[in-house]
């Protein structure tokens, strides 16, 4: 079975009602998202950081996967599909995809600030200052912030090397190391970039599909299933 490796970003969840990071000029309540999603902000303005993720988590509890997520599930009829997502939502899993690697953490999880191995499922949208882990320290969003290491990147690189086909969906490809994954794929394999604002930033992909994910991904998947 051939392997399709898919790198997704916020754009694949946009039609599910989840905001991308760099729409509104990358601002949230007049703060740059890079400034809110950072260890510095957590240290100096923790409530602001909690509010940012609580707002997103609240939306996620009512959001549903869209045609783009479902098309990637259908692709498993013919291919081994490995999804590497920069998204912290769980819409790929809820759609039914079998292999999903989260590069930047997961919104529905919290973790201890003293012991990063203590990770907890959140079955509610609100995480509060004062919510503690079993060792008595504050819980933080289980998110990789700007300036923090990306523990899953090695595994993602190994996955990218396996690709017989590579897809990039709904990402501005400006955040590293995620954007560097394109450099690890085998030379010359068919590569697709589905994004209304796609440019050759994704490493001169062979096929640029300037469509929303809900339209472009199902069409591409049908094409790949029929070839």
- Give the active site residues: 104
| 144-173: contacts with ligand APR (CB under 6 A) | 170-172
Rounded to 5 degrees, φ, ψ at 82 are -110, 120
Contact call for residue 212 and ligand APR (CB under 6 A): yes
**Nearest CB to ligand APR, comparing residues 84 and 133:** 84
| 171-210: contacts with ligand APR (CB under 6 A) | 171-172, 174-175, 195-197
Among 16, 20, 54, 112, binds ligand APR (CB under 6 A): 20
CA distance 106 to 83: 14
Gyration radius (Cα) of the chain, Å: 18
CA distance 67 to 185: 26
CA distance 187 to 28: 39
Residues 90-109, mask of contacts with ligand APR (x by CB under 6 A): --------------x-----
Among 5, 18, 22, 63, binds ligand APR (CB under 6 A): 22
Indicate the DSSP class of residue 151: T
How many CA atoms are closer than 13 Å to the CA of 44, on its beta-carbon side? 7
Positions in the binding site for ligand APR (CB under 6 A): 9-11, 14-15, 20-22, 33, 37, 86, 104, 170-172, 174-175, 195-197, 212-213
């Amino acid at each position: 079975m051939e392997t399709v490796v898919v790198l997704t970003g916020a754009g694949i969840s946009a039609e599910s009602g989840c905001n991308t990071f760099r729409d509104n000029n990358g601002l949230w309540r007049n703060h740059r998202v890079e400034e809110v999603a950072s260890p510095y902000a957590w240290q100096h303005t923790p409530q602001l950081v909690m509010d940012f993720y609580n707002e997103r988590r609240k939306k996620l509890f009512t959001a549903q996967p869209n045609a783009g997520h479902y098309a990637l599930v259908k692709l498993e009829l013919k291919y081994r599909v490995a999804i590497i997502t920069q998204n912290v939502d769980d819409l790929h899993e809820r759609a039914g995809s079998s292999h999903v690697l989260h590069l930047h953490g997961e919104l529905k999880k919290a973790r201890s600030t003293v012991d990063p191995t203590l990770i907890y499922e959140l079955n509610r949208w609100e995480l509060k200052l004062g919510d503690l882990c079993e060792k008595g320290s504050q819980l933080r969003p289980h998110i990789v912030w700007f300036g923090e290491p990306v523990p899953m990147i090695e595994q993602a690189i190994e996955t990218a090397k396996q690709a017989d086909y590579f897809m990039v969906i709904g990402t501005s490809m400006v955040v590293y190391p995620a954007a560097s994954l394109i450099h690890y794929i085998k030379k010359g394999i068919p590569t697709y970039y589905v994004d209304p604002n796609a440019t050759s930033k994704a490493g001169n992909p062979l096929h640029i599909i300037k469509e929303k994910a809900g339209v472009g991904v199902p069409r591409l998947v049908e094409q790949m299933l029929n070839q």
